[in-house]
Amino acid sequence: MSMIGFLQPFAEYGGEWAPRMLDAARITAAISLWGFLVALGVGALLAALRARKHWLPGLLAQGYINLTRGVPLLAVLFLLYFGLPGIGITMSAFVAGALGLGLCFGAQMAEVFRAGLEAIHRGQREAALAVGMTPMAAFRLITLPQLIRIIAPSLVTTFVALLKDSSLCALITVHDLMLEGRALATEYFLPMHIFLAIGLFYFAIAWPLSLAARVLGHRLNRRRAGAA
């Protein structure tokens, strides 16, 4: 097959495929964003539990992290969407997908928060408390701004990983890019062309974010080197 012959279906059907893929891409972006927000909340909660002085909260948080790391994301999605209705809990495919992504990636987010907090010298918080700041004010004014700068590249990288894994949500009937690709492949009998186009859609979303994470990481390293 010549290159011209291979590209011909894109020219012939691209006008029909593009609107449907764009609509599906919006769903992929939406479920990835909501999953990421859930992961942020779960990660922050786990990080707070691990920071407690009592041993039990830290043990529970570490147990959750170990459990979610050992369970495939697809199993969690199936449990939420197909399993929970057996005990009377039902949710839409979109909600189950976003929740499953957030619960699984929350463990990774907890590690991101832990690494960021460990990179901040504890003496800064102690100094803030010594001059009369409350613990909440010290966290909000001293710790949090530094934490955001430190973990920003890792947050973007985690979002990119979550975005790619969101394709598994097609298996619980979320009408995202992957499910739309399967529908188009069934209609047009051109799976190679269609899934190549789907892959390019994911690449167009993920690659700029990966570059942004790399740039943020380089800038952070330069600032640390300058401060040293």
> Which residue matches tokens 């408390």?
129
The CATH number linked to 117 is: 1.10.3720.10
Between CA 145 and CA 152 the distance in angstroms is 11
Residue 121 maps to a domain: yes
Task: Give the count of domains, the chain.
Answer: 1
Contact in structure between 31 and 98 (CB atoms under 8 Å): yes
Query: What sign does the CA torsion over 156, 94, 81, 182 have?
Result: negative
Calculate ∠ Cα 135-36-27, nearest 5°.
150
Residue 227 maps to a domain: no
Residue 217 maps to a domain: yes
Between CA 151 and CA 119 the distance in angstroms is 10
Closest by CA position to 178, among listed 83, 92, 97, 68: 97
Specify the DSSP element, H or E, that contains 154. helix 144-165
pTM for the full predicted model: 0.88
pLDDT at 36: 96
**How far is CA 8 from its chain centroid?**
36
Residue 226 maps to a domain: no
The one-digit pLDDT tens for each residue of the chain (228 residues) are 577 778 888 888 888 999 999 999 999 999 999 999 999 999 999 988 888 878 888 899 999 999 998 899 999 999 999 999 999 999 999 999 999 999 999 999 999 998 888 887 777 777 877 777 777 777 777 788 888 888 888 888 899 999 999 999 999 999 999 999 999 999 988 899 999 999 998 998 888 888 877 777 777 666 655 554
Residue 228 maps to a domain: no
Enclosing domain of residue 178:
3-221
